[in-house]
Amino acid sequence: MKKRSNKQELAALKAASIKKEKHDATMAVLYILSGLLCTVLVVTGGVLGFRAIRKSYLDSGRKYRNTVVYQTDHFEVNMAMFSYRFYSDLYSGRLDALGLDSPEELKNQTFEEGEFKNYYEYAAWLSANSIRNDLSFAESAAVKGLSLSEAELGYIQARLDRLVKNAQARNMDTEVYLSENYGRGVRLTDIEDLLKIEFLAEKERTTVSMGLSATEEEINRRLENNGAGKYYRIDYYMVVIPYGIEDKDSEEKKEQKRLQVKEQAQALASCKDLDSYLALSEEIFRELYKDQDNVDEYVEYALKEAHFVGEKMDFEEIYENRIDRYLADLDLKAGDTTVVEDSKNATAIFVEKAPYSIDQKNDAYLVLDLYLEYFSADSEADRMLENILEEYESEPTEEHFRELVRKYSQAEAEAAKDGYTDDTYISDADYEDAPKSFNGLLRTAKENNAFKNNVATLYGANGRYLVYALGEGQTLSYVEARQAVLEEKYSATVTDYPSLYKVTPKEEQEIYSPAPLYTAED
């Protein structure tokens, strides 16, 4: 290779020096820019990282799992467990009772009694009370050495499996499903821990109940003290007409309004038959609701609400309310009327049916209970019911049915007496309101001749039942007297549980703040 001359070498070095200076200047600018960029990224990343960490922490449920709400010597309930109970209670009827769809809506429902700001706080307080009660009974069970059986642990697992299947049916991750429905960060393990306490508490209640009995002497004494009069009922209509008085009204105006309403009520009370009473009632309601767009619906609803069927008559009470005093009279006859006035309304009553006794003999049955919540899917309960029915039909006798109850029924206390029940009466009014209740289902099955070889299958909202008809049972008064004796004995047995098996709140001020539900915005 040809070598460079010294002159060429010096020129090359100079050029290289100039090039390096330019390169160093350029790199300096780049370093500055790079530093600024790194600073921005660090700050931004820090914020985003903090949010990610916080989200991960909340989604994990550790915040709520680490907050102990109640504790006993053997158990503790944390906020994640409490949250599950709170939302479960809401979904079990409390929301429906208020006509609401979402737990958050409870915060907008003013609670006018007590110290609660809204129904959300009140609902949390109710759940807290329920948990405290469960803890007392679970603690009692633990002290006595009671524990959950394999079957009971299986029922708990079925409850958990049902939650997993519910998530799968919605194409959701289980943890997301639980967070959206039972509180952010709530896990299956939290639910399992609470269910174990609940099941153990129920085991203790069942154990106590199974140890109680009512003698014939105790039942008859109760019947003698209460009498059969309490089983009288009465059907009537009651139209309440408000005076419509406003603060701005003059005294003369107020008196005019009172007189007008009293005249309307007296006109109703003057009606000689039910048809004329109802016709005039409709006129009055139409006047009251004339400003409503859907006046026909308002009138229809008002007439329905004015009708009382099978109302209980309790003669032992000393009523301050004049309406109650009037209706607690066995001498009332169909067509009797009266007007009762108070400071706000005039009320016109029309007796539709004279007082009548419902102290009749109930139907008696043997019942095999299968609870839907003890199965991971309703279809599993249906399949078990079909299999048990098939097993019964292989030997269709009462004794065989009793054996099946003892073998398969999930109602332990009832199974101990072969599923016997004679508390089966349902009034027409209750039947209309709750045809799917157990007694309603029994009545429907009987009216539809659904019993084949003395046996029928009932499909309820919460359970499946195999029922064997025994015929006549005890009278309503006898059943109620027997139940009253047993309830008194039960209360006497457990009245000291709160003091014997103390439940301690973690804080002096009890905590009623369940985990919020997870939303897409979170």
Tell me the pLDDT tens digit for each residue of 93-142.
888 888 888 998 998 888 776 678 889 999 999 999 999 999 999 999 99
Domain at 457, CATH number: 3.10.50
- pLDDT (0 to 100) of residue 45: 55
- In 43-134, DSSP assigns E strands to 68-71, 76-78
User: Does 341 lie in the same domain as 403?
Assistant: no
Distance in angstroms (rounded) separating the CA atoms of residues 133 and 387 = 37
Is 6 within the bounds of a domain?
no
The model carries a pTM of 0.71
Among the three residues 317, 340, 357, which one is the final residue of a domain in this structure? 357
Among the three residues 160, 177, 211, which one is the final residue of a domain in this structure? 211
Is 197 within the bounds of a domain?
yes
Q: List the structure tokens of 417.
A: 């007496």
User: Does 263 lie in the same domain as 142?
Assistant: no
- pLDDT (0 to 100) of residue 6: 40
User: Does 344 lie in the same domain as 241?
Assistant: yes
User: Does 236 lie in the same domain as 206?
Assistant: no
463 forms beta bridges with 371
User: Does 204 lie in the same domain as 94?
Assistant: yes
User: Does 89 lie in the same domain as 33?
Assistant: no
User: Does 234 lie in the same domain as 353?
Assistant: yes
- Amino acid residing at 344: K
Question: b or e along 296-320 (b: 16 or more beta carbons within 10 Å of the residue's beta carbon)?
Answer: eebbeebeeebebbbbebeeeeeee
Is 398 within the bounds of a domain?
yes
Least Cα distance to 244 among 324, 345, 169 occurs for 345
Distance in angstroms (rounded) separating the CA atoms of residues 277 and 282 = 9
Low-confidence ranges of the chain (pLDDT < 70): 1-55, 57, 113-114, 226-229, 315-320, 507-511, 520, 522
Angle at 225 between CA 220 and CA 227, to 5 degrees: 85
Is 465 within the bounds of a domain?
yes
Considering its fold, how many domains does the chain have in total?
4
Contact 103, 87 (CB under 8 A): yes
- pLDDT (0 to 100) of residue 508: 57
Is 423 within the bounds of a domain?
yes
User: Does 265 lie in the same domain as 194?
Assistant: no
Among the three residues 36, 60, 84, which one is the final residue of a domain in this structure? 60
Q: Which domain holds residue 267?
A: 229-357
User: Does 480 lie in the same domain as 400?
Assistant: yes
Q: What is the mean pLDDT of the chain?
A: 87
Angle at 447 between CA 444 and CA 453, to 5 degrees: 95
User: Does 372 lie in the same domain as 346?
Assistant: no
User: Does 241 lie in the same domain as 339?
Assistant: yes
Q: Which residues contact 515 (CB under 8 A, 6 or more apart)?
A: 61, 63, 64, 79, 80, 83, 183, 184, 185, 186
Is 490 within the bounds of a domain?
no
Q: List the structure tokens of 322.
A: 């004049």
Is 382 within the bounds of a domain?
yes
- pLDDT (0 to 100) of residue 21: 47
User: Does 77 lie in the same domain as 203?
Assistant: yes
How far is residue 18 CA from its own chain's centroid?
A: 85
Distance in angstroms (rounded) separating the CA atoms of residues 467 and 127 = 34
- pLDDT (0 to 100) of residue 420: 97
- pLDDT (0 to 100) of residue 313: 81
Q: Which residues contact 315 (CB under 8 A, 6 or more apart)?
A: 229, 230, 328, 330
